[in-house]
Amino acid sequence: MYKLYFSPGACSLAIQVILRELEQPFELHSKARVADYQQINPVGAVPALETEGKVLTEGAAIILYLLEKHANDLLPGDAQARQQTIENLMFANATMHPAYSKLFFINSVMDEGNAKQQALIAAADQVTRLWQQVENKLADQPYTGGHSLSPADILLAVYANWGQFFPVEIPIGPRCQAMINRVRTRPSYQAAVAAEGQAL
């Protein structure tokens, strides 16, 4: 059985959603309840996934591991569609996620004042531009990969929650919002959010 370490609302939520989509059994463990989490993941970040005596880290790598190991419809078999799905996954994990991370960093290290506000606005503008790229991609399709759910959609639905933590505006277009709503109404997503609350 898998053991997933999480923090509420973090990108570990996406891993839990995917485990549920794959109908894989797992135990959920709050990072905050681990005495020395760096013994599990020296970087100190979530997610971390324990399986078969090993600990897997890095969200995108964990997602690809799970999708390669278990039968699913999230990672296409067709080479071109598969490559597009992985590209979208990396965009979410390695481009959108770091853009939000800048906001968290600025918010945590800078003193309150005009300089901090201007830095937050600049970082938010970058995130907004990335959401516009997703909005453009969704012009003729309901999900980033086409007409079926992909791991990138799940990650993006999680990230979209993060804007509420900052005193700046991050507009999300109507097509993106519709895609996010489709993900968030899935039983897997709703069950994952509920489980995080119960495991704290």
What stretches in the chain show pLDDT beneath 70?
none
Same structural domain, 64 and 99:
no
CATH number at residue 179: 1.20.1050.10
Mark whether 64 and 125 lie in a shared domain: no
User: What pLDDT score was predicted for residue 160?
Assistant: 98
Residues 65 and 147 in one domain: no
Model confidence, pTM: 0.96
Residue 155 CA to residue 63 CA, distance in Å, equals: 10
Q: What is the pLDDT of residue 11?
A: 95
Residue 184 · residue 190 · CB < 8 Å? yes
Claim to verify: residue 164 and residue 149 sit in the same structural domain:
yes
The answer to whether residues 53 and 97 belong to one domain is no
Give tens-digit pLDDT for 85-139.
Answer: 999 999 999 999 999 999 999 999 999 999 999 999 999 999 999 999 999 999 9
Co-location of 88 and 162 in the same domain: yes
192 in the same domain as 180: no
Structural domain boundaries, residue 118: 79-184
Q: What is the CATH number of the domain that holds 53?
A: 3.40.30.10
In this prediction, residue 78 carries a pLDDT of 93
* pLDDT at position 199: 81
Number of domains in the chain: 2
Is 16 in the same domain as 94?
A: no
Q: Rounded to the nearest 5°, which phi and psi values hold at 44?
A: 85, 5
